[in-house]
């Protein structure tokens, strides 16, 4: 694949040589709040810059002791008591990049093996976020690199497929090593902090099903269905007819196989398709962990799709990562993990929905649940790290470790949220009066429904009388019961 402007610029920056030891001192903008410049050539000046910065961080959280080791053999300790973590800058370049680019530079240094971390990552991120070290002022060239990459990763139909493939087509065998058995790649719902991941993911699928009020014969569209866990659960336990779409070829292939193994081909269809290619209307609409990939420029069009695909009065649910207030995304994550990603603020999202008469019914913030989910994923990831390194390489392992750890810290200590937004398309008489039924104690033990209803002359076209009565005039139901 030819390199775009953003990747060429990145390669040029990455391969910049180390300055000669006798080069004159050059003042470089520092990314961290409270500092204007630092010396890029003088080792002592670099030492002073990072030590002063970390001393400020330590004063913001004095109960956390830690150590910093530099490439020249010097070691420094902050705080009192046993150090919770230690950071070793193996090269001067790693320190220089961290000072200049914040977490982007730190992440690139860690991926390259030029930064080593020992002890508690959790305490490291807690300290960094309490001292606001994650908020950086990127220098001009780094901002240019960031915006070139953002322009190059806008989610047109062609680019959206490439962005999704970058993350989700790493191989089903990779994700099987650390996801639960249902292959659910989104926040679980923990009824207890010590619940196992499989139980928590089943509880999440059932919670979504209950919020949507799923009933036999209804039609459901799942945009970004992943490996099919939700459509399988909805068809098996609630008797719906479901269509799931994904842009990942690896996900679609495995999801179809799982539908066949479950014997639900008459109720569940998996399409390898962009959400903009779906037609027809549905009684229920859901998207779990996909809206983050739509992109800021395409968010209005995405919500137009919801209005067109969800029948009037029908219920929909958005489960997505977002923010309390607008802001830039993390450059490291957007470069290496989720190109084209965008985390909308809750106020912007609800305003865009309101303009389309998508009426908000309920908003729930599952922030602590995602932190627990990421903890479970990382435990499984580390238990299989030798197999993952054999599949890819050590750099890949460090990249994904940092992603899982920093994401958990973002939910636990930062400003990252995960929202479940229940809404209706215009006025609806299907809105629940209370939340009581959603959180009943039997959440984990929903009784599976019979796979097939009573046979008819054409079972593939069978719908309930109520569902048929809600169809728009002149629209015929497709082979899985939804209007095509």
Looking at residue 334, what is its pLDDT? 86
Structural domain includes residue 221? yes
Given a cut of 70, is residue 294 above it in pLDDT? yes
* Biggest CA-to-CA distance, the chain: 88
Q: State whether 409 and 340 are in the same domain.
A: yes
Structural domain includes residue 466? yes
Q: State whether 138 and 175 are in the same domain.
A: no
At which residue do the structure tokens 């999704």 appear? 164
Q: State whether 388 and 434 are in the same domain.
A: yes
Looking at residue 340, what is its pLDDT? 77
Contact by Cβ (8 Å): 119, 58: no
Q: State whether 210 and 309 are in the same domain.
A: yes
Structural domain includes residue 291? yes
Q: State whether 230 and 290 are in the same domain.
A: yes
Contact by Cβ (8 Å): 343, 461: no
Domain boundary among 116, 142, 168: 142
Looking at residue 76, what is its pLDDT? 87
β-sheet bridge partners, residue 77: 67
Average pLDDT of the segment spanning 367-389: 98
What is the pLDDT of the chain when averaged over all its residues? Answer: 80
Tell me the CATH number at 50: 3.30.1050
Given a cut of 50, is residue 27 above it in pLDDT? no
Looking at residue 128, what is its pLDDT? 85
Looking at residue 285, what is its pLDDT? 98
Looking at residue 78, what is its pLDDT? 86
Domain boundary among 142, 171, 191: 142
Q: Give the number of domains in the chain.
A: 2
Structural domain includes residue 150? no
What is the Cα–Cα distance from 133 to 234, expressed in whole angstroms? 43
Residue 241: pLDDT band with limits 50, 70, 90: very high
β-sheet bridge partners, residue 269: 243
Looking at residue 130, what is its pLDDT? 78
Contact by Cβ (8 Å): 452, 432: no
Q: Give 103-156 pLDDT, tens digit per residue.
A: 899 999 999 999 999 999 999 999 888 766 545 444 454 444 544 444 444 544
Please tell me the least confidently modeled range out of 45-49, 323-327, 393-397, 437-441: 45-49
Given a cut of 80, is residue 2 above it in pLDDT? no
Provide the domain limits for residue 263: 159-470
Residue 467: pLDDT band with limits 50, 70, 90: very low
Selection from 266, 218, 259 nearest residue 240 by Cα: 218
Structural domain includes residue 479? no
**Helix, strand, coil percent values for the chain (each to nearest 5):** 45, 15, 35
Residue 177: pLDDT band with limits 50, 70, 90: very high
Q: State whether 331 and 430 are in the same domain.
A: yes
Looking at residue 440, what is its pLDDT? 80
Q: State whether 432 and 364 are in the same domain.
A: yes
Pairing of strands 219-223, 282-288: parallel
Give Cα separations from 319 to 121, 346, 399 (angstroms). Answer: 28, 12, 26
Tell me the CATH number at 430: 3.40.50.150
Q: Give 61-97 pLDDT, tens digit per residue.
A: 778 899 999 999 989 888 888 999 999 999 999 988 8
Q: State whether 125 and 261 are in the same domain.
A: no
Q: State whether 271 and 184 are in the same domain.
A: yes
Looking at residue 270, what is its pLDDT? 98
Structural domain includes residue 98? yes
Selection from 274, 189, 260 nearest residue 228 by Cα: 260
DSSP string, 284-327: EEEEES-GGGT-TTTHHHHHHHHHHHEEEEEEEEEEEEEESS--
Q: State whether 358 and 454 are in the same domain.
A: yes
Structural domain includes residue 478? no
What is the Cα–Cα distance from 373 to 160, expressed in whole angstroms? 26
Domain boundary among 142, 168, 202: 142
Contact by Cβ (8 Å): 327, 335: no
Q: State whether 268 and 208 are in the same domain.
A: yes
Q: Give 325-368 pLDDT, tens digit per residue.
A: 987 778 898 888 888 788 999 999 999 999 999 999 999 999 99
Contact by Cβ (8 Å): 417, 323: yes
What is the Cα–Cα distance from 459 to 450, expressed in whole angstroms? 14
Structural domain includes residue 80? yes
Q: State whether 179 and 255 are in the same domain.
A: yes
Given a cut of 90, is residue 474 above it in pLDDT? no
Looking at residue 316, what is its pLDDT? 98
């Amino acid at each position: 694949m030819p390199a775009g402007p953003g990747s060429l610029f990145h390669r040029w920056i990455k391969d910049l040589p180390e300055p000669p030891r006798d080069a004159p001192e050059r003042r470089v903008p520092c990314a961290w709040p409270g500092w204007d410049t630092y010396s890029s050539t003088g080792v002592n000046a670099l030492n002073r810059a990072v030590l002063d910065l970390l001393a400020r961080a330590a004063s913001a959280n004095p109960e956390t002791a830690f150590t910093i080791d530099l490439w020249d053999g010097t070691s420094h300790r902050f705080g009192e008591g046993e150090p919770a973590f230690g950071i070793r800058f193996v090269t001067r370049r790693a320190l220089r990049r961290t000072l200049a680019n914040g977490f982007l530079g730190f992440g690139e240094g860690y991926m390259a093996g030029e930064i080593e971390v020992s002890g508690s990552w959790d305490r490291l991120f807690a300290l960094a976020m309490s001292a606001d070290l994650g908020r950086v002022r990127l220098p001009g060239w780094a901002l240019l690199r960031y915006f070139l990459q953002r322009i190059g990763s806008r989610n047109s139909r062609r680019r959206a497929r490439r962005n999704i493939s970058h993350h989700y087509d790493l191989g089903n065998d990779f994700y099987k090593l650390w996801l639960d058995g249902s292959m659910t790649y989104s926040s679980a719902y923990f009824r207890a902090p010590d619940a196992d991941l499989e139980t928590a993911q089943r509880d999440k699928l059932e919670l979504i099903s209950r919020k949507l009020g799923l009933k036999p014969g209804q039609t459901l569209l799942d945009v970004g269905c992943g490996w099919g866990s939700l459509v399988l659960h909805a068809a098996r336990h609630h008797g719906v007819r479901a269509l799931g779409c994904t842009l990942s070829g690896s996900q679609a292939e495995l999801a179809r196989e799982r539908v066949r193994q479950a014997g639900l081909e008459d109720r569940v269809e998996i399409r390898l398709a962009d959400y903009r290619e779906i037609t027809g209307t549905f009684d229920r609409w859901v998207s779990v962990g996909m809206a983050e990939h739509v992109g800021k420029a395409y968010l209005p069009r995405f919500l137009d799709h919801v209005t067109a695909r969800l029948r009037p009065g029908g219920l929909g649910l958005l489960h997505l990562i977002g923010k309390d207030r607008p802001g830039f995304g993390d450059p490291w994550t957007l470069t290496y993990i989720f190109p084209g990603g965008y985390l909308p603020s809750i106020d912007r999202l609800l305003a865009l929905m309101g303009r389309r008469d998508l009426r908000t019914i309920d908003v729930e913030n599952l922030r602590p649940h995602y932190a627990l989910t990421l903890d479970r994923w990382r435990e499984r990831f580390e238990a299989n790290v030798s197999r993952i390194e054999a599949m890819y390489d050590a750099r890949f392992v460090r990249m994904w470790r940092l992603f899982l750890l920093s994401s958990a810290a973002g939910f636990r200590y930062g400003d990252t949220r995960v929202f479940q937004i229940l809404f209706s398309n215009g006025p609806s008489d299907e809105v629940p009066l209370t939340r009581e039924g959603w959180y009943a104690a039997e959440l984990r033990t929903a009784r599976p429904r019979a796979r097939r209803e009573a046979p008819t002359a054409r079972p593939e076209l069978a719908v309930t009388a109520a569902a048929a009565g809600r169809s728009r005039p002149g629209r015929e139901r497709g082979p899985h019961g939804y209007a095509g």
